[in-house]
Structure 1
Amino acid sequence: MNTDQILAEIREANLSYLMLAQSLVRIDRDQALFRLGINEGTADLIAALTPAQMMKVASSNTLLCKMRCDDDMVWGLLTSHGKSAANDAVSRLHASILMAGRHQEAA
């Protein structure tokens, strides 16, 4: 993959993220804050973006979203290779609880 392809992929990911974020904020603000890991001010800005502004912001060569799972324990819980389906559900719930706690700490 060359540089132009990477930049095109970043722009596409940014636009998809902004469209999803704007929809979530407009439909269920509280859930959007939690699921996207954003604050009230960012939610206000995203909700107010026009299509032209969204395209301009998405054209950045930097990803707008980031991995929120930067913890080995959370990754281990989310991937839980080789575990039974019941254990997998508990592991995913545990990971969600850990990430929700981190969202509360950041807020």
Structure 2
Amino acid sequence: MSTTADQILTEIREANLSYLMLAQNLIRADREEALFRLGISEDTADMLAMLTPAQMLKIASGNTLLCRFRFDDDLVWGLLTNHGKSAANDSTSRLHASILMAGRHQEAA
């Protein structure tokens, strides 16, 4: 395997561990907010909250990224990137994007 491929796998594993640790901390600190911010189900939150450090290391060591983008449409991306709009519209666009993503979280739950 090339050095670049090795580096990418290392970065995926680091991102996985960081994501699992963040998710667990969020769930333990404020479960409802964590469900919204992470876009996960109650069952997934239960499982993540109970993971031991050894289990997190084992899960994180895979070569597949555990987290993913919560949205995949042009409308949300356009609102978040705010291409060609003034700074005054930036907060309104981000608020609109947050509302859209919150609605999708409710649909998934």
Give 1:69 shift. 2.3
Give 1:10 shift. 0.4
Q: Hey, what's the Cα distance between the residues in 2 that align with 1:69 and 1:39?
A: 16
Give 1:3 shift. 1.5
Identity %: 78
Give 1:2 shift. 1.8
3-state secondary structure, aligned to 1:32: helix
Q: Does 1:28 align with 2:40?
A: no
Structure 2 partner of 1:46: 48
Gaps of 5+ in 1: none
Q: Hey, what's the Cα distance between the residues in 2 that align with 1:51 and 1:57?
A: 10
Give 1:82 shift. 3.1
Aligned residues: 107
- Normalising by structure 2, report the TM-score: 0.94
Structure 2 partner of 1:89: 91
Give 1:50 shift. 0.7
Q: Hey, what's the Cα distance between the residues in 2 that align with 1:4 and 1:10?
A: 10
Q: Does 1:104 align with 2:94?
A: no
Q: Hey, what's the Cα distance between the residues in 2 that align with 1:97 and 1:82?
A: 21
Gaps of 5+ in 2: none
Structure 1 partner of 2:8: 6
Q: Hey, what's the Cα distance between the residues in 2 that align with 1:15 and 1:72?
A: 29
Q: Hey, what's the Cα distance between the residues in 2 that align with 1:5 and 1:87?
A: 39
Structure 2 partner of 1:64: 66
- Normalising by structure 1, report the TM-score: 0.96
